[in-house]
Amino acid sequence: MFRAVLLVVMGSIAMLPVTAEAEKRDATATALHALIQREWQYQLEHSPTYASVSGDRRWNDRWDDLSLKAIEADHQHNLQVVAQVKKLDRKKLSAADQLNHDLFLHDHELWVEEHRFKTYLMPSNHMGGLPEGIKQPPGVQTAYQLADTLRFDTIQDYEEWVTRLQRFGTYVDQVMALMREGLREGRVHPQVVLKRMPPQVEKQLVDAPEKSAFHGPFTRFPASIPAAEQQRLTAAGRAAIAQGVLPALKRYHQFLTEEYLPKGTEQVGIWQLPEGEALYALLARRFTTTSLTPDEIHALGLSEVKRIRAEMEAVKAKAGFKGPLEDFFRFLLTDSRFYYRTGDELLTRYRSLSKRIDPLLVKLFKTLPRQPYGVEPTPETMAPDATTGFYYPGATDGSRAGTYLVNLYRPETRPRWEMVPLTLHEAVPGHHLQTSLSAEQTGIPDFRRFGYHVAYGEGWALYCETLGDELGLYEDPYDKFGQLTYDMWRAVRLVVDTGMHVKRWTRQQALDFFMANSPRQELDVTNEIDRYIAWPAQALAYKVGQLKIRELRTRAEKELGPRFDVREFHDVVLLDGSLPLDVLEAKVQGWVAARKAAK
């Protein structure tokens, strides 16, 4: 059967037949697009906290359903989606849709594969929950952060928050049920991680609802909500916190201290879990988006540590320091000139750095995001256990800007020389440019606009730390040494993460190796090591991604010579969403070939 399309030929309209083959191609593309869109809506509906943080308010009254029944239903759904995608004839798709097809299938196949390892039975740790991704709901002890990230403009917003608070107890009970099942199956974190959790919860066991972080929205009503409604909603919120939230947190705290913590393992490393080595290999593949084995990653880390130490020696000489590198480390960590006295001074410096970098970006970037960002302190309740800084993406509806959170806890442990690379990584041009520009690409499906491959995103941010040289930010040798320190930090990760989880290193071995190769404060090093214990393989992504992006740039510079434009290169890397590293490599190679062919 034929259908007709219109073709303008020399001013007249002709009717041309469309072949059955062309119809099949169109039907395949239509089916793929419909499936992708339907599944994106499914993921949002079944991950309501992710949807809320992203700015989609349709399920603002819910927490994620973490019952075993719901988890199994989601798994069966993913199996069905994989089967549906595989029924589509990939050859009948355009090159762009073949990429959409492959990335979409890859995500679902990975979820299916990971399900058999039952990582969902370890849903909570001192970092909150599992690492990045739409399927990672918040941990119990960090759930309060939702109060500061959602938009509260209308009566409905507050009523939905009250309902969410009322349902918090069910959410906590589901988390505890998963953790109890994890105990039965021998899937539990080491005690060194678990010991950090009860104090985090204890801080939230306040003696009055209005002192709870969950109460925050009721302290900042917009003027458009009448006073009587404000009083009604505040009373409802306090009742929900008193009757639902606080009792649930007390149950959770008691569960952690009396039931869960004593069962934690004394040794560290995922190798202790059922099929632990196979799980780590999967996680390494997932987070690096490569086929590198743990042994190969460990060797790569050792090689990078050696290379960066040589660069450190050169910068140490430039700074005029005469002693060995270990003494230079000690000097950087102990000399008062490198520290601010107060958290306020730290915050002021971070904000001034961001303002200094912003106008320089046009030197290296052709396309900049429309969404703004701000610099704010890490919440006090999580600061003692949090890293030096991190980025929180803005809402897709524009209701919340991106936020660069900086840790002001114990400023005497936070040296000035680490501030430039940290800002380049977490704010601009690192995570803010990458996530914001990705979200603004309306020509790609939503799962790619808002998806996140850790090796790409963190690799990009680590690559951006090196751009400080081109932006003139490392003229001070101490700032440059700070960048090398951060580079070393990520190289060390490759060694200690694989060391603990595969080679059965002790936690102390990992701490010693880190301290011997990086002038970072012991508090930071300890927090980092415990993060790697709680999130196996996640930290591998940074250095692997950075090396690939730098390799692609170096190769493009060599092949294009004077025709290489760094601003165009950055567009190629950034303007197609978050990609696996092999896909990114093919994209850059295609751009280089096109540039070489152009006359």
Residues 428 and 303 in one domain: yes
The pLDDT, as a whole number, for residue 315 is 97
Q: Does residue 534 sit within a domain?
A: yes
Residue 12 lies in a domain: no
pLDDT number for residue 295: 97
In 211-275, alpha helices (H) = 227-240, 246-255
Query: Residue 55: what pLDDT?
Result: 86
The verdict on residue 430 lying in a domain is yes
pLDDT of 392: 86
Q: How far is CA 588 from CA 52, 425, 541, 557, in A?
A: 34, 22, 20, 11
CA–CA separation, 468 vs 424, rounded Å?
Answer: 7
Classify residue 302: in a domain, yes or no.
Answer: yes
Q: pTM here?
A: 0.90
Give the pair of three-digit tokens for residue 113.
């594969």
Instruction: Mark whether 376 and 513 lie in a shared domain.
Output: yes
Same domain, 284 and 247: no
Domain boundary residue, one of 266, 291, 325: 266
452 within some domain: yes
Residue at 568 is within a domain = no
Range(s) of the domain holding residue 219: 165-266
Give pLDDT, residue 16. Answer: 42
Residue 54 confidence (pLDDT): 85
Q: Are residues 344 and 234 in the same domain?
A: no
56 domain residue, yes or no = no
Instruction: Give me the number of domains the chain comprises.
Output: 2
Say what the pLDDT of residue 134 is: 55
Q: What is the pLDDT of residue 271?
A: 97
pLDDT of amino acid 354: 96
**Domain closes at, from 547, 576, 593:** 547
Q: What is residue 130's DSSP assignment?
A: S
Residues 171 and 292 in one domain: no
Lookup result for tokens 């990971």: 114
Q: Distance (Å, rounded) from C-alpha 538 to C-alpha 497?
A: 9
- Counting every residue, how long is the chain? 599
Q: What is the pLDDT of residue 11?
A: 35
d(CA 287, CA 299): 18
Residue 197 shares a structural domain with residue 227: yes
Question: Is 447 in the same domain as 352?
Answer: yes
Together in a domain, 253 and 313:
no
Structural contact between residues 114 and 78, judged by C-beta atoms closer than 8 angstroms: no
Same-domain pairing of 241 and 290: no
How is residue 571 written in tokens? 């567009």
Q: Which residues have C-beta within 8 Å of that of residue 74, sequence separation ≥ 6?
A: 46
Q: Answer whether residue 456 is part of any domain.
A: yes
Shared domain check, 297 and 424: yes
Please check whether residues 249 and 367 belong to one and the same domain.
no
Q: Nearest-CA neighbor of 328 among 306, 349, 311?
A: 311
The pLDDT of residue 19: 59
Provide the pLDDT for residue 23: 66
Give CA separation, 210 vs 2, 160, 240, 353, in Å.
69, 18, 11, 36
Handedness of CA 423, 375, 399, 365 (dihedral sign): negative
* 3-state secondary structure at position 4: strand
Contacts 24+ apart (CB under 8 A), 276-283: 276/501, 277/502, 278/117, 279/117, 279/119, 279/536, 280/501, 280/502, 280/536, 280/537, 282/113, 282/114, 282/117, 283/536, 283/537, 283/538
- Domain boundary (528, 547, 566) is at 547
pLDDT in tens, the chain (599 residues): 223 332 233 333 344 455 556 666 789 999 999 999 999 999 999 999 999 988 899 999 999 999 999 999 999 999 999 999 999 999 999 999 999 999 999 999 999 999 999 999 999 988 877 665 556 788 898 899 899 889 999 999 999 999 999 999 999 999 999 999 999 999 999 999 999 999 999 999 999 999 999 999 999 999 999 999 999 999 999 999 999 999 999 999 999 999 999 999 999 999 999 999 999 999 999 999 999 999 999 999 999 999 999 999 999 999 999 999 999 999 999 999 999 999 999 999 999 999 999 999 999 999 999 999 999 999 887 788 777 888 988 887 778 899 999 999 999 989 999 999 999 999 999 999 999 999 999 999 999 999 999 999 999 999 999 999 999 999 999 999 999 999 999 999 999 999 999 999 999 999 999 999 998 888 889 999 999 999 999 999 999 999 999 999 999 999 999 999 999 999 999 999 999 999 999 999 999 999 999 86
Residues 308 and 180 in one domain: no
